[in-house]
Amino acid sequence: MSMKIKKRTTLQRYWTKRYVLTLISGLILLSVFSLWWMEKTALEYRLSLLKYLADETSDRAIKENGQIVVGPILSEIVEEREKILHLNQQPIIYIVDPDGSIIYTMPQLYIDPDENKLPDVIMKNTELIQKVKISDNKVYVVKSPITFNDETRGWVVIAQEEGALKEINQDHGLLAIMIGGLLILGTGVIYFLSRQISRPIQDVANAAVQVREGNYDIHFKEEEEIKEEEIYELIKSFKEMTNRLKVMEKLRAELLAGVTHDLKTPVTSISGLIQAVKDDVVTGEQSKEFLDISLKETQRLQGMIEDLLNYNAISAGAFKIRVQKENINTFVQEIAYRWQVTQEDGQTFALDIKVPDEPLFGLIDSLRMQQIVINLLNNARHALDGNGKITIDLYEKDEGRICIDVQDSGRGIPEHEQQYVFEPFYRGENKKLKVRGLGLGLPFSKMLAKAQKGDLILKDSNQQGTTFTIILEKSDQG
């Protein structure tokens, strides 16, 4: 059954497309709102001008004797004021008597004598600006009274369709130019910013492909030139990871050669010793001594193989851990004593054990925890040059955690090697020359500690000594 391959696109194209679509949607909403606002503003502005025109017309439409007259001067004034409105459709101006009978219209309209009167809906409404519906048309009506000696002698009524008052033809072009300009500018800015963001990510992606193919020689833009914190951290972390992989790749080859050598050496030694006994090169007591040496080498080889098997077993999750409550004070003292008495005669180091007055109880697998402590003590012993001191310090770190510090006064671990001490098969330069082994002690101990819901960390290491800390899960005394 064939699987459909999803088509992918570049980060820059993906986000540019979405940002532009978002921009277009926003501009459409902005355009709709702008058109609504412009129509609303134009309507209010033109209604106020119509009211002003009605007021001015009413003032000029009556003589001193109180008679309503419409002369040429009034017509000129009305025409001049109408130009200010910028309307495609001229409004209709009615001059009517108090009852609403039409006296005069501008422009001149034919009016049926039977219908020579404005509707009551207009005349009886007390509002001077009103919106009415006439013959399915929405019309705005503006009124202004013609008064003489505080007596209403008539009305000036200006009527205009709503659509004509909301027309903004002259502003449509300006709005289109503005929206188009924002779209072009916004698209350019979005493309530029997307490119700025996607370029370093694309560089990291390309570098990841090279790393996948085994090429660790990666070059990025100088970190000082990167302004974005997240991009800076991404590139910095990737460079550190690449450098670490590069070092680990080099170490892998060296460690494979070292492990092969450490396994091959006892086999070669055993083979040579047994061959010497078989060929009667040595006889008597010397042949017995050769066999004893062969047995010791066999035991050492067996120990290495067991280390490999144990490490593989716990890595695969096939290692059983039996955790139970133990008195850690007693546990530490007993392990330290047993280890000390097994050391060679003439030892020149001091062992100091510090435990709190109150007993601390922890959840551990005593057998596996013993392996961890003894491995740390052996490493501490190897780190001592001549006279020295090893200290075991038991204390409660915080609620729910117990710590065991194993500290030596040895030469310390070089700073550049400290990050690799828990890597499988890694052995520092000094230890590689003096102590034979596979380099699985610390990695195996850390995995055992984690399997017991604890941890093993390198707390500190300098020229005055090294401290490893075992972290345990605390148990209640009850």
Give yes or no: residues 331 and 305 share one domain: no
Give yes or no: residues 305 and 353 share one domain: no
Tokens found for residue 282: 């040595």
Residues 216/249, Cβ–Cβ less than 8 Å: yes
Tokens found for residue 290: 């050769």
Q: What is the pLDDT of residue 467?
A: 92
CA distance 375 to 355: 20
Give yes or no: residues 162 and 31 share one domain: yes
**Domain count across the chain:** 3
Domain membership flag for residue 205? no
Q: What is the pLDDT along the chain (478 residues), one digit of tens a residue?
A: 455 556 677 777 777 888 888 888 888 888 888 888 888 888 888 888 888 888 877 877 777 666 776 666 566 666 666 666 666 677 888 888 888 888 878 776 656 566 678 887 888 888 888 888 877 778 888 988 888 888 888 888 888 888 877 777 666 677 788 888 888 888 888 888 777 777 777 788 888 888 777 777 777 766 556 777 777 788 788 888 888 777 777 766 666 665 665 666 667 777 777 777 777 777 777 777 777 777 877 776 776 676 666 666 666 555 677 888 889 999 999 988 888 877 765 556 788 899 998 888 998 888 888 888 888 888 888 888 767 889 999 998 877 789 999 999 888 888 888 887 887 766 666 555 455 556 677 888 888 888 888 899 998 888 888 999 999 988 876 4
Domain membership flag for residue 210? no
Give yes or no: residues 302 and 329 share one domain: no
Instruction: From residue 417, give the alpha-carbon distance in Å to each of 95, 229, 405.
Output: 103, 29, 20
Residues 69, 72, 74, 75: is their CA dihedral positive or negative?
positive
Domain membership flag for residue 190? no
Domain membership flag for residue 251? yes
Give yes or no: residues 57 and 94 share one domain: yes
Give yes or no: residues 87 and 162 share one domain: yes
Give yes or no: residues 139 and 253 share one domain: no
Last residue of a domain, one of 143, 171, 199: 171
Which residues touch 461 (CB under 8 Å, ≥6 apart)?
412, 413, 415, 418, 467
Give yes or no: residues 299 and 329 share one domain: no
Boundaries of domain holding 116: 11-171
Domain membership flag for residue 318? no
Q: What is the pLDDT of residue 323?
A: 84
Q: What is the pLDDT of residue 1?
A: 45
Give yes or no: residues 18 and 119 share one domain: yes
Domain membership flag for residue 239? yes
Which residues touch 435 (CB under 8 Å, ≥6 apart)?
382, 427
CA distance 443 to 104: 107
Other beta carbons less than 10 A from residue 465's beta carbon = 21
Last residue of a domain, one of 309, 337, 359: 309
Domain membership flag for residue 221? yes
Give me the torsion for CA of 380, 381, 385, 386, rounded to 10°. Answer: 140
pTM of the model: 0.47
Give yes or no: residues 303 and 336 share one domain: no
Which residues touch 451 (CB under 8 Å, ≥6 apart)?
314, 319, 321, 365, 368
Domain membership flag for residue 196? no
CA distance 75 to 81: 10
Angle at 287 between CA 286 and CA 290, to 5 degrees: 90
Give yes or no: residues 148 and 18 share one domain: yes
**CATH code of the domain covering residue 74:** 3.30.450.20
Give yes or no: residues 397 and 342 share one domain: yes
Other beta carbons less than 10 A from residue 192's beta carbon = 11
Residues 119, 124, 130, 136: is their CA dihedral positive or negative?
negative
Last residue of a domain, one of 309, 341, 370: 309
**CATH code of the domain covering residue 460:** 3.30.565.10
Q: What is the pLDDT of residue 49?
A: 83
